[in-house]
Amino acid sequence: MRGLTLHLVRHASHDLLGRVLAGRSDVPLNAKGLREAELLADVFVRQQVSAVISSPQLRARATAKPIASRCGIPFQLNPGLDEINFGAWTGMTFDDLGRDPGWQVFNTARSLAAVPGGETMLAAQARAIATVQRICEQLPGGVMVMVSHADIIKAILLHILGMPLDMMRRLEIAPASRSVVFFTGGDCVVRAINIPVTEP
């Protein structure tokens, strides 16, 4: 059946993972992340990828670049795939955030919580979904790779699955993982979530 296969790829590993909320700050990939990006490129070079689209953040661009290079196509930046604007929380350690009541609310009631000086989860989901819909309409068939961030990918998947944002913590999206959605005839199916990248 002809349709569009969309791979939602989380950026590869960096040194702040699990320690600091990077948000919209330029964080480079570490050695592990650079290797993960190359392994992802190995996966996609075997497919006929027609487009690679990335969040503007450095860690996403550094993940997208080897994929696009190995596939022989340029990659495009799209702000619709950008990380959530975490406002005042950007750059804080998760230990410090754990003592912030607002952060606790954000992680239990994503659909209602406000981000100090930043973007709500609902707003982030809306612009991510609008971006996916617009791009998928422009490329009705083939294989597409979108490189983004864990919460953005979760928000897209929850929308497609018809699940509320407050279920976000039930999904795991690991660094350099792939989630696959198939679009055809105005419908879509989630085929896989959180496929890990592995050494051959």
Phi/psi at 52 (5° precision): -125, 120
The H-or-E segment that residue 29 falls in is none
Secondary structure (3-state) at 120: coil
Secondary structure (3-state) at 113: coil
| Domain parsing of the chain, residue ranges | 4-195
Residue 1, pLDDT > 80, answer no
List pLDDT tens digits, range 105-162.
Answer: 999 999 989 899 999 999 999 999 999 999 988 887 899 999 999 999 999 999 999 9
Phi-psi region of 18 (alpha: psi -120 to 50; beta: other; left: phi over 0): left
Higher pLDDT, 159 or 186: 159
Residue 11, pLDDT > 90, answer yes
| Predicted local distance difference test score (pLDDT) of residue 178 | 99
- Going by C-alpha positions, the residue among 80, 81, 100 that lies closest to residue 90 is 100
In angstroms, the Cα distances linking 164 to 108, 119, 156, 171 are 12, 18, 11, 12
**What CATH code would you report for 4-195?**
3.40.50.1240
Q: How far apart are CA 69 and CA 53, in angstroms?
A: 13
The pTM for the full model equals: 0.96
- In contact, 81 and 44? CB cutoff 8 Å: no
Q: Which residues pair with 53 in a beta bridge?
A: 76, 146
